[in-house]
Amino acid sequence: MPITITGFQTFDLRFPTSQQLDGSDAMNPDPDYSAAYVVLTTDSDELSGHGMTFTIGRGNEVCVTAIRSLAELLVGTRVDQLMADPVTLYRKITGDSQLRWIGPEKGAVHLAAAAVINAVWDLWARIQQKPLWQAVCDMTPDQIVSCIDFRYLTDALTPAAAVELLQPLATSKAKRIEQLQDSGYPSYTTSAGWLGYSDDDLTQKCADLKTRGWSHFKIKVGRDLDDDIRRCKILRREMGDDAFMMVDANQVWDVPQAIAWIRELAKFQPWFVEEPTSPDDILGHAAIAKAIAPIRVATGEMCHNRVMFKQFMQSGGMQVCQLDSCRLGGVNEVLAVMLLAAKFQIPVCPHAGGVGLCEYVQHLSIIDFVCVSGTLDGRITEYSDHLHEHVRHPVTMKSGRYMPPSDQGYSVEFTEAAINEFSYE
Amino acid sequence: MPITITGFQTFDLRFPTSQQLDGSDAMNPDPDYSAAYVVLTTDSDELSGHGMTFTIGRGNEVCVTAIRSLAELLVGTRVDQLMADPVTLYRKITGDSQLRWIGPEKGAVHLAAAAVINAVWDLWARIQQKPLWQAVCDMTPDQIVSCIDFRYLTDALTPAAAVELLQPLATSKAKRIEQLQDSGYPSYTTSAGWLGYSDDDLTQKCADLKTRGWSHFKIKVGRDLDDDIRRCKILRREMGDDAFMMVDANQVWDVPQAIAWIRELAKFQPWFVEEPTSPDDILGHAAIAKAIAPIRVATGEMCHNRVMFKQFMQSGGMQVCQLDSCRLGGVNEVLAVMLLAAKFQIPVCPHAGGVGLCEYVQHLSIIDFVCVSGTLDGRITEYSDHLHEHVRHPVTMKSGRYMPPSDQGYSVEFTEAAINEFSYE
């Protein structure tokens, strides 16, 4: 029986994380992790599609408004017809001739597009009774490429070249899936490094995380250089010289300032430097990357679409691709960016944390390993310890690694208790 | 008496322009020109601040929601304190620690920022009983520079360098104002060239506009090459070889396609080619510009902030700067882009048309000529014939030139009749 989308509900969920200074950094001192959440209802009692986009509090209402405008476009649509040629879904949601003016493909309307598009992917996976990652891994290279809108990409990557990239990996997927079922996908955590934490907190959290199996740690920097040096020293001391330390400036520097500041932190041997300047400044990132080499530049959590990623990769401004599952236009555009990264041989290390993001990205990293990159070398996916109790099927971690989820869909269905307690007026 | 902002009202105004295919182009086939409109109320009965952002229909509700979230931040604020150091206004509205996540400085929240920031500038000019352009022209170079957020700009332009650019023009402002009072600011029009018009419409509208004094004409292209060639021929025939013809592709091409297509239209000697590809594709624009020289590339109406403009100018991807009064974060960010353009010696030719945009940009072009560029050479501001009857103080055109407005404020106060008739449910 074909399934038809018959309506939708939206929810403005906000978790008061600012009270504990979880998530505090130089640019975002007081986030309240939030989800603009949509449930697509269907003509089947058992089937619904769940999608969300992530924000840090105020502004979540704007995304909810945009989700309503976009979800409306799907009411009356049959899922099998929409997904027969999956780029149709992307174009329908991001290409509305009037709505595109308030983007295009950026800002609130694109964050909302992620929620709506991902809700369809969730529904589509549930119809097949598979977790999302498995439903995608079961696609052929041609089918995966047919998810992607190549508009504005063909100077860097054509559909034919994309199929060619995927083809050599198509016969060995089962082996990599087995590997992940056995030992999981590696993660790193920011749970220790928030700027709002005291030195004692930092020391204690480091010890705790090390015990639990992590070897990659991220620390927030950029507010005060002396503070940064002191906190980097603590992290290095606690974690040891073999641990991987990443520093994250959350966009606080101008280009010349970034170069000078990073040189001061170079002695702590950061594995990469994240978001040294404006997320829009492609040429600025390229200038910084050139000046601080061999230290690598990581960015992407605020990179708003595939056209921007294309340029970051073309220009040499991005050595680590931290795509965001909610900022890009859903699974379709994530696949586009993963293929660009494969083309430019840049590791994809998705952004996560917040709420719901870890649940989303576990699927994406599996897809990247199984279908697109074929390797775990230099790949590591962000993880944060917070708020997992509010989704029905939270991530399972083992020794600091994401274990492949077995529940159907895309894993961001919120519990009734969370909806009741955290719905925002 | 200092004036305090005590509250605000918002309006979702939509004009059913899609019925006549006014405004139709290859990317936007059916726009309903719309304004997300805010009125800031004060503790004075006589004084209120009026601002709007422009959209093309669906999505206007998203901007209205965002305007409410931003305007709330101003309630209780004294205008003189806010404008004592005008960058404060910009940072307050664009830098909210939570709201910035849904931008930053892009998409719906930044379009909304334009409405709110411009409403304050309108109010500030009314308090001084001046039109906005005059209030800004009365500022010293230091005061103008103090409006600008230089974050992420200092690798291209520092505050000190900006003051140096303005200083030589400061003593001769009166002369240029007199020149404008006498003969106005040159405009061009797209009123003839919409894709939805028939060849007969095009011919007749050309004749009409020529009679009324225009010598610059823009035509929409990019849907079908043969159509484009036929329509360019008609335009050239009707307007003569001396007229300036601009072609506008509204983002429909990929980079290689843009280069090939423009070469086919080169024989009509376009004065510039507008929006050949994605508005986010800085490197793509630079590649196109290099390939089609000496034909120039114009872009900017969808360029979302000063960081993007900086890179377009640094990369050689933009030879004509078509900033948008509603897409940038209000007068503050427009001044930043004008100064960058002066630094890179790129003419500013603002985007207009739609509804309210002509009313806004007349002020901006005056400011650019009087304070920043000091020249009309190669400068020309867009104009379109539609919807002026809905604002209280519409533009005055003489022989195809904008005449400096004399009414107080920033000219986008809508009439009660328009609010009553075009408020959208």
At A174-224, the pLDDT tens digits run: 999 999 999 999 999 877 777 778 899 889 888 888 888 888 888 889 999
List phi, psi (to 5°) of B406. Answer: -110, -10
pLDDT of residue B370: 98
Sequence-distant (≥ 6) Cβ neighbours of residue A208 within 8 angstroms: none
b/e map of A97-128 (b: 16 or more CB within 10 Å)?
Answer: bbbbbbbbbbbbbbbbbbbbbbbbbbbbbbbe
Higher pLDDT, A384 or B78: B78
What are B422's two structure tokens?
């075009």
Chain B residues lying within 8 Å of A66, measured CB to CB: 59, 62, 108
Sequence-distant (≥ 6) Cβ neighbours of residue A322 within 8 angstroms: A274, A298, A299, A300, A301, A303, A349, A350, A351, A382
* DSSP symbols for B189-258: EEEEE-TTS-HHHHHHHHHHHHHTT--EEEEE--S-HHHHHHHHHHHHHHH-TTSEEEEE-TT---HHHH
Where does B5-129 sit in CATH, by number?
A: 3.30.390.10
**How far apart are the CA of B191 and the nearest CA of chain A, in angstroms?**
20
Question: Does residue B359 carry a pLDDT above 70?
Answer: yes
Q: Range with the lowest mean pLDDT among A73-82, A185-194, B34-43, B203-212?
A: A185-194
Chain B residues lying within 8 Å of A32, measured CB to CB: 98
Interchain contact B72–A (C-beta under 8 A)? no
Interchain contact A316–B (C-beta under 8 A)? no
Residue A41 exposed, middle or buried by CB count within 10 Å (0-12, 13-18, 19+): middle
List phi, psi (to 5°) of A138. Answer: -80, -5
Average pLDDT along chain A:
95
- Do residues A400 and A215 touch, judged by C-beta distance below 8 A? yes
Question: What mean pLDDT is predicted for residues B267-279?
Answer: 97
Query: Which residues numbered 108-167 in A keep a CB inside 8 Å of some CB on B?
Result: 108-111, 151-155
What are A303's two structure tokens?
């990179």
Residue A220 annotated among the catalytic residues of the structure = yes
Residue A60 exposed, middle or buried by CB count within 10 Å (0-12, 13-18, 19+): buried
Beta-carbon neighbour count of residue B345 at 10 Å? 8
Interchain contact, A302 vs B278, CB within 8 Å? no
Active site residues of B: 220, 351
Interchain contact, B254 vs A310, CB within 8 Å? no
Question: Does residue A20 carry a pLDDT above 90?
Answer: no
Question: What mean pLDDT is predicted for residues B381-388?
Answer: 92
Nearest CB among B98, B109, B278 relative to A108 is that of B109
In the block, tokens 């955590």 appear at A189
Beta-carbon neighbour count of residue B126 at 10 Å? 26
pLDDT of residue A217: 85
Question: Does residue B367 carry a pLDDT above 70?
Answer: yes
In the block, tokens 């559909």 appear at A159
Interchain contact, A155 vs B256, CB within 8 Å? yes
Q: By C-alpha distance, which of B378, B372, B346, B368 is closest to B169?
A: B372
> Cis bond leading into B141, ω under 30°?
no
b/e map of A379-396 (b: 16 or more CB within 10 Å)?
Answer: bbbbbbbbbbebbebbbe
pLDDT of residue B1: 85
3 state DSSP class of A116: helix
Chain A residues lying within 8 Å of B63, measured CB to CB: 102
Query: Which residues numbered 185-224 in B keep a CB inside 8 Å of some CB on A?
Result: none
At B150-174, the pLDDT tens digits run: 999 999 999 999 999 999 999 999 9
Instruction: Return the bridge partners of B320, or none.
Output: B298
Instruction: Return the bridge partners of B54, or none.
Output: B35
Question: Does residue B109 carry a pLDDT above 80?
Answer: yes
pLDDT of residue A322: 98
Domain ranges of chain B: 5-129, 166-422
Nearest CB among A69, A105, A155 relative to B254 is that of A155
3 state DSSP class of A414: strand
Question: Does residue A412 carry a pLDDT above 70?
Answer: yes
3 state DSSP class of B388: helix
What are A164's two structure tokens?
């060619």
Percent of chain A with pLDDT over 90: 86
Interchain contact A329–B (C-beta under 8 A)? no
DSSP structural state of residue A327: T
CA distance A124 to A215: 36
Question: Does residue A112 carry a pLDDT above 90?
Answer: yes
Percent of chain A with pLDDT over 70: 99
Chain B residues lying within 8 Å of A110, measured CB to CB: 107
At A287-315, the pLDDT tens digits run: 999 999 999 999 999 999 999 999 999 99
ipTM value > 0.85? yes
Chain A residues lying within 8 Å of B307, measured CB to CB: 278, 280-281, 284
Residue A365 binned pLDDT confidence (cut-offs 50, 70, 90):
very high
Interchain contact A405–B (C-beta under 8 A)? no
pLDDT of residue A21: 65
Interchain contact A73–B (C-beta under 8 A)? no
The H or E element spanning position A321 is strand A320-321
Q: Range with the lowest mean pLDDT among A1-15, A22-36, A68-82, B252-266?
A: A22-36
CA distance A306 to B129: 47
Please pick, among A220, A304, A390, A393, the residue that the annotation labels catalytic. Answer: A220
Nearest CB among B107, B154, B255 relative to A109 is that of B107
Interchain contact B401–A (C-beta under 8 A)? no
**How far apart are the CA of A399 and the nearest CA of chain B, in angstroms?**
32
Please pick, among A351, A363, A390, A393, the residue that the annotation labels catalytic. Answer: A351
* DSSP symbols for A149-193: --TTTTTT--HHHHHHHHGGGGGGHHHHHHHHHHH-EEEEEEEEE
Where does B166-422 sit in CATH, by number?
A: 3.20.20.120
List phi, psi (to 5°) of B248. Answer: -130, 115
Please report, for residues A47, A286, A306, B179, B203, the alpha-carbon distance to residue A278 in angstroms, rounded to integers and kept in the order given: 41, 12, 17, 40, 47
- Please count the helices (runs of H) and the strands (runs of E) in chain A: 16, 12
